Chain A
Amino acid sequence: MSALEIRNVRKTFGDTEVLKEISLAIDSGEFLILVGPSGCGKSTLMNAIAGLEPVTAGEIHIGGEDVTWRTPAERDIAMVFQSYALYPSMTVRQNIAFGLEMRKVPKAERDQAVERVADLLQISQLLDRKPSQLSGGQRQRVAMGRALAREPQIYLFDEPLSNLDAKLRVEMRTEIKKLHQRLGTTIVYVTHDQIEAMTLADRIAIMRDGHILQLGTPDEVYNDPADMFVAGFMGSPAMNFLSASLEGGPGEYRVRVETEGAQAPLVLPWPVERETEALASQVGRPVTLGLRPEHFSEEDERLGDQAEGTRFEATTTVVEPTGADTLLQVRLSGVEATVRLGPKSRIKAGDRIALRVDMSRAVLFSTEDESRLA
């Protein structure tokens, strides 16, 4: 039985449809992340799950029970908010205990629960302070403590890390992951940060314009994107999209990419094992080749023809060493493509370099409707 099931949920504000027939099921103990650009409906969906906004149509089930028309209080869920939403007039202890108090949990049990989560989150020394006396990271912990104290069926996290600075954000991310692994809680987590999504989620739902475009594990979403939007949204630096055309036929499809200047066009053989039915109808038509920056590698003379992938030459325009990698911008097919190389690369801007591309991981989209072809 699913911990949370969303059936054909629609939500309209006036004339605009914010959620369009969303269906989704989450297993108990699963960490689901809703990700997408602002305005995609992810926060509305979360509010609908919480009961903070009534849905226009559809049903929401929690633990097998239809809660569509229940109040937030009756749903047995807890939520961590972006602004933390701590009660400023109460101490940390009172903040954490408030939900239990409202549910008429006896004082002794409340105290126990407070101690338990305070231990868990290492905020025992802060219990008698007011929220205004806490740092951002501490507030974040208290907000999580408030949710954890109640031990609800489902936890909702609404961009909980977006108000923290970069370093703290990474720390808290790890912390949340540890908590989830330790407690086995069911979590629905909203973010617009695809790195958070990749690192935390068991499954990711990528949303756009009120639709779920793809629901899958981080690996599926990253390596097997459903369409160009998902491919472009996940991963940083983003996937390179190269205009190309499809040639050949079954067993010998080739992707032809026009290169700049007088260079001969790049003709890349499409791996036979990755052929799909959809390709046949696209021969001779413009397609978009998706290559992630790490799908490129530097030509190594010593490997000669044994090296995998197809060789080509390009001019670098910008070199960005990040420490762990070196990112290059190269002119290719009329666009700048980003290439990720190892940190030891000695390439300078303006250099002409030889690169190989790993076609076994490339993806192909229809230029026309941005759908995935292969």
Chain B
Amino acid sequence: MKFGVVVFPGSNCDHDAYHVVSKSVGQPVDFIWHKETDLSSFDAVIVPGGFSYGDYLRAGALARFSPVMASLKDFAAKGKFVLGICNGFQILCEAGLLPGALRRNAGLHFICKHVNLRVETSNSPFTSGLEPGTVLSMPIAHAEGNFTCDDATYSSLEENGQIIFRYSDEHGNVVETANPNGSRGNIAGISNLDRNVLGMMPHPERACDDLLGSSDGCDIFRSLTQAIEKVQ
């Protein structure tokens, strides 16, 4: 089993993701410079948070054209696992690997705080070890996390169970007051139709040690590890 962490110019959560995979989950992991195109040695690739290309044009808009992205599309089409976190989620949407777009937060502020997420389904390689309704605590840190899509896309996300996480209160109630950024339907994370690609704005890699206030993020990496073991 091998994880990869893509590094774009401006990525800044790449080392956190690497640390969590190697230390908290205890699996082999390598960095992947964005100009590389051979992903054949990896089972799962993490597209980390940060400010790829300085967020110029739109968050994720320019990273989408990096050489590694064409390979990542093929990688995902083969059913391999892709996890986009924060800027990684923005990049996956811009690249068309996930539907929708991430707009400026409704309140305009950059928000950095712990939030609660309700797990909407365990029918995902990233949440297979979690009961639906479980509430996870982890931080968000973004200015463009306001998930937007048209009505048809939203309906299909709901019908196909592609909404994996919603912002909720600590009891798991999905309420407007728990929505930090104006995201449609309190969406915090979605998957593609084949369920092997997940994008999420909150940072599970920053919540893998009780010393950091929460270790709930580890559940996502553990589920993913089990999913990889299953297909091997």
> Are these two chains actual partners, yes or no?
no
Chain A: residues with CB nearer than 8 A to chain B?
Answer: none
Chain B: residues with CB nearer than 8 A to chain A?
Answer: none
